[in-house]
Amino acid sequence: MTRHDHDPPLLTAGLIATGVVAVSFSGPIGASCLAPALAIAFWRNALGAAAGVPFTVGRRRAELAALVREQRRVLLTAVVAGAFLALHFGLWIPSLRLTTVTASTALVTTTPLFTVALMRVRGLPVPRGVLVGVLLALVGVVVITGVDATGSADALRGDLMALAGGAAAAGYISAGESVRRTVGTASYTLVAYTTCALVLLPVCLVSGTPLWGFSARSWVEIAVLTLTAQLLGHTLLNRALRSAGATTVSLAVLLEVPGATVVAWVWPGQVPPLAVLPGAALVLAGLAVVVRTQAAGRARRVVTEVGNVTTVGA
């Protein structure tokens, strides 16, 4: 990638800010829309995939054809990512109907915790700073779920579903990261969103979830959700990755929690319980420590590798 491929810093900051604002609408709309939660999950992906077809087929046809004909293993990984995405949305959006937007959004962003757990299962070393961050975030999770457990069983069930949605997102991100090494964003998201919709479709049909017959307002809310969180938010944040890097974007995405809280407060007027806010703050602080420590570790490994190469070359 050449230097002119990177966006100017001011534009990059604008992309990130707009992307975070856009994804902050996901929780409040998912909570307030009167359409069934699983139907919302299906339509946001089906419409998102449909919106990506003209560009991908028109501009990335050769890449898409090579993915289907020559890169079967990569294609399968993209399909697996889409299946994890379906599980993520299938758990998280229904959780918004059971607990608060603040609690659900904070808990579903715990994806890095499950990534660290996967590292431990695989026997990989985990830096001390990451463990400190995990501990902070886990304390936050306990605070949130403890508050909801004293409130109602439904709220606690919503918390657990949001946590499981965060775990599913870890699978989605891990699989997607592998695919994105060789496949462009447009082709990958088309496969992932299409797979997600195709997985959710039979789930909706078997569970008796209606996919149409909604009010005009519900259709407008689904359209706004698709345009903001599904298309605008994800697209801009993916573009910002080129210039800002994964660490900056990952930390910025954590701002979705206060962003969603503010949006839900203004519309539809959902005021979060004050007791939940300290837990959400601990989750965000812990995740920030995890992301920053992992980034620092990667930077040190790069410097070491460059130093080793220089030594060998000398």
3-state SS record for 36-102:
CHHHHHHHHHHHHHHHHHHHHHHHCHHHHHHHHHCCHHHHHHHHHHHHHHHHHHHHHHHHCCCCCHH
Residue 40: inside a domain, yes or no?
A: yes
Whole-prediction pTM: 0.87
The whole-number pLDDT of residue 271 equals 84
Residues 264, 83: contact at Cβ < 8 Å?
A: no
Predicted local distance difference test score (pLDDT) of residue 268: 77
Residue 262 lies in a domain: yes
Our count of domains for the chain comes to: 1
The answer to whether residue 313 sits within a structural domain is: no
The string of pLDDT tens digits covering residues 38-95 is 999 999 999 999 999 999 999 999 999 999 999 999 999 999 999 999 999 999 999 9
In a domain, 286, yes or no: yes
Low-confidence ranges of the chain (pLDDT < 50): 1-4, 306-314
> Residue 62's pLDDT is what?
95
Return the pLDDT at 259. Answer: 92
Tell which residue, 87, 116, 92, has the closest CA to residue 27: 92
Compute the distance between CA of residue 177 and CA of residue 155 in angstroms, rounded to an integer. Answer: 33
Tell me if 16 is assigned to some domain: yes
- Measuring CA to CA, which residue among 175, 227, 223, 185 is closest to residue 56? 185
Residue 184 neighbours by CB under 8 Å, 6+ apart: 60, 63
pLDDT of residue 194: 97
Encoded amino acid at 144, one letter: I
Report yes or no on 292 lying in a domain: yes
How high is the pLDDT of residue 125? 83
pLDDT at residue 309, rounded to an integer: 46
Determine whether 265 is exposed, middle or buried from the number of CB atoms within 10 Å of its CB (0-12, 13-18, 19+): middle
Question: What's the pLDDT score for residue 236?
Answer: 83
DSSP letter (8 states) at residue 4: G
Tally of helices (H runs) and strands (E runs) in the chain: 14, 0
Q: Which domain holds residue 218?
A: 3-308
Q: 314 in a domain, yes or no?
A: no
Confirm whether 185 is domain-assigned. Answer: yes
